[in-house]
Structure 1
Amino acid sequence: MTRALLGLDQGTVAKARELAAAAAAPVIELAKAHTTVAVERATLRLAGITGADTTHRAGDVPWVNRVVDTVRDHCGLEQGALLPVFHALREHDLGTLTELAEATAAGQVRFTQPDGKDRDRAAKTARSAVGKGIRQVDRSRAQRAKLVEKIGDPPQRPWIYLIVATGDIDEDVVQACNAARAGADIIAVIRSTGQSLLDYVPEGATHHGFAGTYATQENFRIMRAALDEVSKEVGRYIRLTNYASGLCMPEIAVLGGLERLDMMLNDCMYGILFRDINPIRTFVDQRFSRQVHARAGIIINTGEDNYLTTDDAVDAAHTVTVSQLLNERFAHEAGLPDELLGLGHAFEINPDLPDSFRMELAHALLAREVFPDAPLKWMPPTKHMTGDVFRGHLLDGFFNLAGVLTGQSILLVGMMTEAVVTPFLSDRDLAIANVRYVLNAAGNLAEDFRPAPDGFIVKRAHQVLDEAVGLLERIGRDGLLKAISEGTFGLMKRPPEGGKGADGVVVKAEEYFNPAIEMLETGATK
């Protein structure tokens, strides 16, 4: 139970939420009015398309890309991809979607939008196929619940979140299992550099990533199976995290739901700001991906920590609160409850500033009290890591202490070489030891911690909340897309018509058909 230590005016908090909802509303309507190539591919993945064309001269091309691109060329995506696909399946008397994809690659299929009884038959078959995929997501969620009940959750909060990033899924498994044995509760497999800008999801197990490992369905399956085994060994369910972001956000969300991932990085603006992905594409894709996460029971982690690596962590503190409120609103609209909102924030104030630790406590307590039921994800220092490993280790200790003092839910393990070099295994071991010491020595200190009602921490938290309300009022007047274009968040200016993937956005026709969206919104399975 979150204690009220800051004396926040609940009327001000309620006003901030109302303003966030008003700012988000036009963007939600925009998202509902569009589809994207990634949403259509994700839906076909739920319907059962897997595999890739391995004969293509430019490299493997996923069958789902081949099919959606061809449908778009032949008859457009304004009514969705499913009706042309399942009409063609019957028209050509093909048994599987893979056979249809192979025939498509061979130039043997001409996709058309069916009408009349042909449309009804295609819709019925499509609905049945997508329903099977949704039911698999439901089974994965039920299996997670069963394993947590049987094996047990970690005995303490915050959960300890550790990153592995070798580029080779087999090496990742070794590091992940050893990290779990050392005390990690959550394993995040970092994606290979640049994967967020690929407009396709690679197939199969991979061993050649750069500074991370490719997110693929097979890699998800391999890591989940390995963590299930080590969960039994250590006596607590080890959670798996990956990244539902970038140009394939909806597809990776679907693959995560099918393969029982437990958490996924999924922010409403990160791809826009830090990967220069088209804003409209991002908002359309994130709505669908969050509907999938809601159905799968996957905790999303948002990316507000990144604002503080590009902007000043003191001056821009209120932009973190604003983004958290927007992320909350977009998530709620997509069906995600508070217990699945791993809203992000970070320990990124320059440690040389007087009272820097007190300000960190103020910001962390503000997030905790504004979002009392959310599993907040607290991110370690990176911007001010200098390569002095002793200073860095001490700074991480202060970060860990702030986390337990302010009741954070998910603690990403900070390492003394963070943002300087790729950490060694020994760095991870020392970092986990740092966390374990603080949790053991001060894990219950929060019950004794009460900032002075008229002191520095309380005043700073009130100031940040008031500044957040002021910014939300401006965003409400000018529009969220304009605010993004002006560099409001993280100093990144991204115009709504620009960015990568804009050509993959399609305005829906009145006859648009996508049973996955209907099932995700209503809870149906057929």
Structure 2
Amino acid sequence: MSKIRLDINKVDTARNHARAIAEETQRFVDLHTTVAVERTVLRLLGVDGVNEEGVPLPNIVVDHLKEKGALENGAAFYMGNAMVELSLSPQEIAEEIAQERLDLTKLPVHDRFEVEMKVEDVARETVEKIKGNRKDREAKLEEFGDKSGPYLYVIVATGNIYADIVQAKAAAKQGADIIAVIRTTGQSLLDYVPYGATTEGFGGTMATQENFRLMREALDETGDELGRYIRLCNYCSGLCMPEIAAMGAVERLDVMLNDALYGILFRDINMKRTLIDQYFSRAINGYAGVIINTGEDNYLTTADAYEEAHTVLASQFINEQFALMAGLPEEQMGLGHAFEMDPEMKNGFLYELAQAQMAREIFPKAPLKYMPPTKFMTGDIFKGQVQNALFNMVTIMTGQKLHLLGMMTEAIHTPFLSDRAVAIENASYIFNTMEDFGNEIEFRQGGIIEKRAEEVLSETVKLLENIKEEGLFRTIEMGKFAAIKRPQDGGKGLDGVVKKSSTYYNPFFELLQEGGAN
């Protein structure tokens, strides 16, 4: 039952509009592939490593096919054909191409059924590994138990994976439930995934498969010591979105930042490229049991949290529908929002509470991701501690799940271990002392909170109806989200979008949807 008496008809209308928006966009997505999607296929077939110049082998193979005008048929077909013809593994074939000893498009074309069977044998091995990772996670949660309240979510970001490991272990021992390794500044704009363990990053650490492996190993070790399962988070947004999702699935990451619109709005990545890439990345995350985090919180760092609250809810509805289309269940949708009202606004806490309660009721199965105040953190650590305490209160009152801890030294420096400990202590105290508070209170009928929720929901319905009429691409061009305008054929990565041929082949969509990973 709605505690703030939301108009369920309006919720249904908004969801129907969002579904229509996603379905129209999906028709475009289904007709196209991208260089990142095809590189992901190769990675899932076992292609890894770099050449002598440090260029990843998946890039070399995909660029080879793109130059030959053959990518429209899918990298999987050419790789399978070469496997039949040459009796080599995908890795060996990629190495031959890197040495310029092989042209995939000049090999004799074998029977398509034989080619596809060859590919699917290898593809199933990877899918089984991902399924095994999911079962390993579930076994650990069964052994240790899972947390019923909010997950305490903290960030490490030294630039050096080995230093990150030290900080991550310390944070886990302090009480953190999720460790997010912030990705180095600008990596989302690289159209390749760096290789190996890395020790140099700016504002974060390179997202690489080896870094994922090292951190997963470290958190498992610490979790076993503590008798808790520690979740690992990274970022699969950007130009390599599906590749990083695949790497995370293989290395058993648990949470991935994976928004449909974030890269378009905040990194100027072409909208067509992003929307195609997000579909495959979410199919992978869905199968792997990964909780995705969406990026609506970022809207409120550029637009006013009070005036533009309806754009956050509209984006949550759209992200929900894109995720469902990719086979990702509601229980893995960490739809995002943030505590970003101006502290000088009278009754700002009530408006924050209205937004959080509304999101909780509209998306009841979703492990909502709630972000701390950042925009109005001034460097006054005492005021900052109070702002974070109010944020923590909203989380426990409204049942948010992925709670990114606010740091009192936000806007001063990268948090020290002591800052993180204080943040965990603050949240833990409030979550404990107010654990059942949300179940004990009722909201006054016709009061400020209820009226505010109704106002935001009504504005969301209008916005989604308008988007349905205009189309999502045109809406983004008009700057309806975060007050940022992006052209359909502008931004980074458009040259990596390829229209599929009638014989296009990618075995993984079907394999990832065969009854789910359970």
Q: Same fold (TM over 0.5)?
A: yes
Which of residues 355, 366, 384 is equivalent to 1:374?
366
- In 2, distance between residues paired with 1:420 and 1:492? 27
Contact map agreement 1:185 1:237 (CA 8 A) in 2: yes
Match of 1:26 in 2: 24
| Secondary structure of residue in 2 paired with 1:437 | helix
Q: CA deviation at 1:74?
A: 2.2
- Equivalence map 1:219-298=2 (5 Å): 219-298=211-290
Match of 1:83 in 2: 77
- In 1, distance between residues paired with 2:289 and 2:467? 31
- In 2, distance between residues paired with 1:388 and 1:340? 36
Contact map agreement 2:233 2:256 (CA 8 A) in 1: yes
- In 2, distance between residues paired with 1:153 and 1:232? 14
- Equivalence map 1:376-395=2 (5 Å): 376-395=368-387
- Equivalence map 1:95-174=2 (5 Å): 95-112=88-105, 117-154=110-147, 156-174=148-166
Q: CA deviation at 1:503?
A: 0.4
Which of residues 57, 68, 71 is equivalent to 1:63?
57
Matched, 1:406 2:368: no
Contact map agreement 1:75 1:111 (CA 8 A) in 2: no
Cα RMSD, aligned residues only: 1.4
Contact map agreement 1:46 1:132 (CA 8 A) in 2: no
Equivalent position amino acid for 1:7 in 2: R
Contact map agreement 2:82 2:88 (CA 8 A) in 1: no
Q: CA deviation at 1:133?
A: 1.0
Contact map agreement 2:171 2:417 (CA 8 A) in 1: no
Matched, 1:72 2:70: no
Match of 2:191 in 1: 199
- In 2, distance between residues paired with 1:358 and 1:113? 66
Contact map agreement 1:75 1:112 (CA 8 A) in 2: no
Contact map agreement 2:84 2:118 (CA 8 A) in 1: no
Provide, for residues 223-247 of structure 1, a one-character-per-residue CA deviation record: whole Å limited to 9, x for no partner. Answer: 1111111112222211111111100
TM-score, normalisation: structure 2: 0.97
Q: CA deviation at 1:522?
A: 3.1
CA gap of 1:330–1:524, structure 2 versus 1, over 3 A, is closer
Contact map agreement 1:346 1:379 (CA 8 A) in 2: yes
Which of residues 8, 15, 19 is equivalent to 1:10?
8
Contact map agreement 1:166 1:213 (CA 8 A) in 2: yes
Contact map agreement 2:82 2:107 (CA 8 A) in 1: no
Matched, 1:208 2:200: yes
Q: CA deviation at 1:152?
A: 1.9
- Equivalence map 1:19-58=2 (5 Å): 19-53=17-51, 55-56=52-53
CA gap of 1:99–1:116, structure 2 versus 1, over 3 A, is closer
- In 2, distance between residues paired with 1:380 and 1:522? 38
Matched, 1:515 2:507: yes
Q: CA deviation at 1:115?
A: 7.5
Match of 2:315 in 1: 323
Figure out how many residues of one structure are paired with residues of the other and give that number: 517
Q: CA deviation at 1:113?
A: 7.5
- In 1, distance between residues paired with 2:108 and 2:396? 60
Provide, for residues 101-151 of structure 1, a one-character-per-residue CA deviation record: whole Å limited to 9, x for no partner. Answer: 222122111121778644333222111111111111111111111111112
Matched, 1:309 2:301: yes
Equivalent position amino acid for 1:451 in 2: F
- In 2, distance between residues paired with 1:325 and 1:209? 35
- Equivalence map 1:479-518=2 (5 Å): 479-518=471-510
Which of residues 282, 292, 295 is equivalent to 1:300?
292
Contact map agreement 2:153 2:180 (CA 8 A) in 1: yes
- In 2, distance between residues paired with 1:258 and 1:419? 35
- In 2, distance between residues paired with 1:398 and 1:454? 23
Provide, for residues 290-314 of structure 1, a one-character-per-residue CA deviation record: whole Å limited to 9, x for no partner. Answer: 0001110111010000000000000
| Secondary structure of residue in 2 paired with 1:264 | strand
Q: CA deviation at 1:88?
A: 2.7
Which of residues 311, 321, 326 is equivalent to 1:334?
326
Contact map agreement 2:381 2:409 (CA 8 A) in 1: yes
Provide, for residues 382-419 of structure 1, a one-character-per-residue CA deviation record: whole Å limited to 9, x for no partner. Answer: 00011111111110011001111111111110001224
Which of residues 458, 480, 493 is equivalent to 1:466?
458
Equivalent position amino acid for 1:499 in 2: G
Equivalent position amino acid for 2:72 in 1: E
| Secondary structure of residue in 1 paired with 2:192 | coil
Provide, for residues 325-345 of structure 1, a one-character-per-residue CA deviation record: whole Å limited to 9, x for no partner. Answer: 000000011111110011000
Contact map agreement 1:164 1:175 (CA 8 A) in 2: yes
Equivalent position amino acid for 2:39 in 1: R
- In 2, distance between residues paired with 1:441 and 1:149? 27
Q: CA deviation at 1:94?
A: 5.4
Provide, for residues 266-294 of structure 1, a one-character-per-residue CA deviation record: whole Å limited to 9, x for no partner. Answer: 00100000000010110100000000011
Equivalent position amino acid for 2:423 in 1: A
Equivalent position amino acid for 1:11 in 2: N
- In 2, distance between residues paired with 1:175 and 1:480? 41
Q: CA deviation at 1:480?
A: 0.9
4+ long deviations beyond 4 Å:
113-116
* Structure 1: runs of 5 or more not aligned: none
| Secondary structure of residue in 1 paired with 2:438 | helix
Comparing 433-442 with 499-508, greater Cα deviation is found at 433-442
- In 2, distance between residues paired with 1:236 and 1:223? 16
* Structure 2: runs of 5 or more not aligned: none
- In 1, distance between residues paired with 2:287 and 2:83? 28
Contact map agreement 1:244 1:264 (CA 8 A) in 2: yes
- In 2, distance between residues paired with 1:391 and 1:447? 28
